[in-house]
Amino acid sequence: MVGRRAMAVLLGAIFLGGCATTGTRPAHGSDDPFKPVNRKIFAFNQHLDRILLKPTAEAYTGLTPLPLRRGVSDFFSNLDDIKVILNESLQGRVRPALLETARFVVNSTLGMVGLVDVATPMGLRAHGAGFGETLGVWGVRSGPYIVLPLFGPSDVRDALGLGLDSFANPQSYLSNPSALWGTYATQLVDTRSHYLHQGLLMRLASGGHEYSFVRDAFWQKRRALMRARRSGQ
């Protein structure tokens, strides 16, 4: 599995390097050269969500007590802190990295391996950071817009970062396939359960142009985040 991830990362790096050196794409391009394929993947993701992910998340929410759901969410959030610590450090953000490390230590000990978030009430709030953002801070261009199966809107840089982030995910090193895919499935359902009303809100806000709405929202969010990162916020 690590070998497959490494190959994906290598191919992504080659493609991204080509985009960055030719200068044919703007640094935060809003163009959509893969639009026909992107639209098909977008439709596939929506169909998969409609027939499988959303019903499963609704059943999970309805059948699982709230304290248990919170424990599951906190556990996966605690694992995600490892990735955040690494990327904050790589971006040279020393204080946020130290605070995130303190958060991870507190939740991994006092919080019973992350099942209870005791760090947030202590003022150690969770932050987000991924390798896609780290590459952006290092000056790597975003590349064109792409839609990933299951993961949704992205660009080439973030897709590459997603592969690199997997190396910081403890779940990736589980040797038992059942445990590996079981944890991924649980995390996916848990994440989807937090956005059960997202589809309705998106349809209302997009006015029937959901694909363009999601694409433009993605670019706006990424631009704002990269500006904040580069300014040291």
SS3 at position 153? strand
Which pLDDT tens digit goes with each residue over 61-80?
999 999 999 999 999 999 99
Identify the CA nearest to 20 among candidates 30, 12, 8, 9. Answer: 12
Residue type, 215: R
Q: Which residues pair with 152 in a beta bridge?
A: 148
Q: What is the pLDDT of residue 203?
A: 67
Chain segment 219-232, per-residue pLDDT in tens: 988 888 878 776 66
Contact yes or no for 165/83 (Cβ under 8 A): yes
The number of distinct structural domains making up the chain is 1
Q: Taking residues 199-222, what's their average pLDDT? A: 80
Length of the chain measured in residues: 233
pLDDT in tens, 7-20: 444 344 434 444 43
**Count of CB atoms within 10 A of residue 92's CB?**
11
Structural domain of 130 = 2-26+35-230
Whole-structure pTM value: 0.79
Q: Mean pLDDT over all residues of the chain? A: 84
